[in-house]
Amino acid sequence: MPNLLVTGGAGFIGSNFVRLTLAETEHRIVVLDRLTYAGHRINLAEVEDHPRLVFHQGDIADRETVRRLYREYEPLAVVNFAAESHVDRSIDGPDEFVRTNIVGTFELLEAARRSLAARPRDGFRMLQVSTDEDYGSLGKEGRFEETTPYAPNSPYAASKAAADHLVRAYNRTYSLPTLTTNCSNNYGPFQYPEKLVPLMILNAVEGRSLPIYGDGSNVRDWLFVEDHCRGLLAALERGTPGETYNFGGEAERTNLEVVQTLCGILEEIHPPTDNEAAAEAGYESYDEMIEFVTDRPGHDRRYAMEISKVERELGWSPTVSFEKGLRRTVEWYLENLAWCRAVQQDSYDRRRLGLDGAASGGEEA
């Protein structure tokens, strides 16, 4: 039974990947998660007692912890989800992003290099899960390809780009069998409420404003998290070491379009007339809650992913349309408001971050 070491496995994408992998493979999953504000054991509650799941609380930047897990489990693959990932938080405090995203990735690479010196490396993979933000900002035309030069514009993106360069260097210098994947904006169940989609859903439910940066015309490509996780499994199974693979949802939307679509779904399944908080705040429709706020510093204008390589080499393409995925996401959050309260308790009140300590509402796209 091969062991997969999944770092950050109690976070948003990581926990979705763990559940999918347990359901569709025979792998034993060893989760390493520091359990910071965005990582919670409750995200794994559905599979906590699964006989092929092992959980360790720890930090990927802690050398002894990482090397001990390599020695104990000799993983066939390592999938690195562990990262500080909120752009606004990186503006307020980039030091944690450097520590986790860069130093943590270095420790995983070094531990893998040392572990493989004493055992066969055939079949081993280290998969670095990264982001389209590494590529910078697009104009009105074109898409990011795997060969697009990195040009990060936020401390978060810069830290992920630096980590990706280390992964590439360890492949070229030490022949470490690595893979790097860059994905567009994920959305779906278990996403921490600092990100655009869950933030807007919860604000609407509570009768709060729906703040959108700038004029709302920044464009992102949206990828349902389950589709992304299936792509990562395909990369592990069929990817070529040393290669980079881009995953996108082929669903470009402006931030304003995303929020307006959310409002339309909420009007259908949780109308304001049934929402006491919205009624008390004087709102007759969710669109009335939209508020344009000061833009984020260095806000990238547009992201879009070219996915022909993963279609051709991995046999992967997105299967969940944006409208269907968004409806599933809204329904999940409305059915899991207790989870939302639990993960935010004493750690996050959905205030604006990343703009000189401003306390007005904000969003992350």
Closest to 137 measured CA to CA, from 153, 126, 125, 120: 153
What residue spans of 36-86 are helical by DSSP H?
Answer: 63-73
- Count of alpha carbons within 13 Å of 262, Cβ hemisphere only? 28
Helix (H, G, I), strand (E, B) or coil at 172: helix
C-alpha to C-alpha distance for 179 and 241, rounded to whole angstroms: 6
Token output for 195: 């990100």
C-alpha to C-alpha distance for 79 and 4, rounded to whole angstroms: 7
Burial (0-12, 13-18, 19+ Cβ within 10 Å), 63: middle
C-alpha to C-alpha distance for 233 and 17, rounded to whole angstroms: 8
C-alpha to C-alpha distance for 45 and 15, rounded to whole angstroms: 10
Question: Tokens 């559905």 — which residue?
Answer: 46
- Report the chain's terminal Cα–Cα distance, integer Å: 39
Q: Which residues are part of the catalytic machinery?
A: 132-133, 156
For 88, the enclosing helix (H) or strand (E) is: helix 87-92
Report DSSP state, residue 191. -
Buried b (16+ CB within 10 A) or exposed e, 75-108: bbbbbbbbbbbbbbbbbeebebbbebbbbbbbbb
Contact between residue 239 and residue 179 where contact means Cβ atoms under 8 Å apart: yes
